[in-house]
Amino acid sequence: MKISITKSSNSRLPNVDFDNLPFGRTFSDHMFVADYKDGKWGNYKIVPFGKMEMHPAMMGLHYGQLIFEGMKATQKEDGTPVFFRPQMHAERLNKSAERMMMPPFPIDDFSNAIHTLVALDKGWIPKNEGSALYIRPFMFATDEFIGVRPSSTYKFVVFTGPVGPYYPKPISLITEQKFIRAAHGGFGEAKAAGNYGGSLLPTDIANKKGFDQILWLDAKEFKYVQEVGTMNLMFIIDDVLVTPSTTGTILKGITRDSILKICENKGIKFEERLVEIDEIVEAHLDGRLKECFGVGTAAVVSNVIKIKHGEVEMDLPPIEKRTIAAMLKSEINGIRSGRIKDKFGWVVPVKNIETISV
């Protein structure tokens, strides 16, 4: 694999206020770009971050062949830059690609691309625990054609940017009983742009009612808990962590998987199963619902403070009384920072650029 590198001549890094990082507005100096043509990926390059030219008939703009990933690099306490479970992100990208009839991006090339890119822009990785360099790989169809069929050409791009927390405050949720996020047989499990686009109108309605996000229910009976558009959802009922199983309509979150493995390792009881919203209401009324939180790459672990379902408005226990979400967040952040031993082999040091053959 060969990556041609054109370095930016004018770094924007000195202008970044690392103590004040909103999510998703600051972008590092470089980006990786690759092209798929004649059945193979090639033309690998790293160039200064900037605008890309596109043809108005480019298929990715029209029929939704557009997928993405969200992953993070952080700095350990000793200054080593590390990725968190990069292989799993590469694999999930290719699962999404398969569902959207797009070509897989070779896992080794994915790895070399992110190592080279992040090594080059490692000065952009924030130092504070809880902040990170967010990495956004994405792929889209580039044929200049507006008939409906899979494209024969694609672009794969990775850019990065330092971020603070996605949800700086605890969030409120409202269940949705008209709109759905994903149905069985659909593409809810893929990290496809359309899953997010379709959530915007119902979310806007929820926002106007005073809620931050929607708690999506299943598409058939509006009975089972699914996820919250940008996160998987977890509940603590009595002393058990309960989360919906991933049955094809829910994104297989990497933070979700990490938390379940931490629970397994620490002997915290957990259940992955169908979760009825009525069960959550009952547990709340009985005083057994101790915590509710969303988990995701961008959000890490974000507390839910209120849930409205139909006429029932549940004010959940005060954040100070909760212990599990805080412990899980601290475990994930601690494994990333090196404060807690990485028993799982999740943390992968960013290779030194001199050692990467590009």
Q: Which chain residues interact with ligand COI by CB under 6 A? A: 70, 196, 230, 296-299
The least distance separating ligand COI from the CB of residue 68, rounded to whole angstroms, comes to 7
User: 85: left (phi > 0), else alpha (psi -120 to 50), else beta?
Assistant: left
Which CB, 96 or 151, lies closer to ligand COI? 96
Closest residue to ligand COI, judged by C-beta, is: 70
The least distance separating ligand COI from the CB of residue 85, rounded to whole angstroms, comes to 12
Which CB, 70 or 86, lies closer to ligand COI? 70
Quote the DSSP letter at residue 125: S
The candidate with the shortest Cα–Cα distance to 268, out of 221, 325, 335, is 325
Which CB, 41 or 140, lies closer to ligand COI? 140
Which CB, 163 or 275, lies closer to ligand COI? 163
The least distance separating ligand COI from the CB of residue 175, rounded to whole angstroms, comes to 20
E-only strand ranges, the chain: 4-5, 30-37, 40-48, 66-68, 71-75, 81-84, 132-141, 154-163, 171-175, 213-215, 232-237, 240-244, 270-273, 289-296, 300-309, 312-315, 347-349
Do residues 120 and 46 make contact, with C-beta atoms less than 8 angstroms apart? yes
Which CB, 137 or 170, lies closer to ligand COI? 137
* Cα–Cα separations (whole angstroms), residue 127 to 18, 82, 230, 297: 8, 12, 24, 17
And the tokens for 277? 């919203």
And the tokens for 115? 């190592």
Side-chain-side CA neighbours of 233 within 13 Å: the count stands at 30
Which CB, 8 or 74, lies closer to ligand COI? 74
Which CB, 84 or 235, lies closer to ligand COI? 84
In the chain, alpha helices (H): 86-99, 107-120, 193-197, 200-208, 254-266, 277-285, 324-337
Which CB, 3 or 164, lies closer to ligand COI? 164
The least distance separating ligand COI from the CB of residue 92, rounded to whole angstroms, comes to 11
The candidate with the shortest Cα–Cα distance to 273, out of 302, 253, 243, is 243
Which CB, 70 or 81, lies closer to ligand COI? 70
The least distance separating ligand COI from the CB of residue 134, rounded to whole angstroms, comes to 7
The least distance separating ligand COI from the CB of residue 110, rounded to whole angstroms, comes to 16
And the tokens for 101? 């009839």
Count, residues in the chain: 358
The least distance separating ligand COI from the CB of residue 229, rounded to whole angstroms, comes to 8
The least distance separating ligand COI from the CB of residue 196, rounded to whole angstroms, comes to 6
Side-chain-side CA neighbours of 209 within 13 Å: the count stands at 18
The least distance separating ligand COI from the CB of residue 223, rounded to whole angstroms, comes to 26
* Cα–Cα separations (whole angstroms), residue 164 to 24, 159, 294, 348: 9, 17, 16, 21
CB neighbour burial string for 208-236, b if at least 16 within 10 angstroms, e if fewer: eeebbbbbbbbbeeeebbbbbbbbbbbbb
CA distance 144 to 108: 29
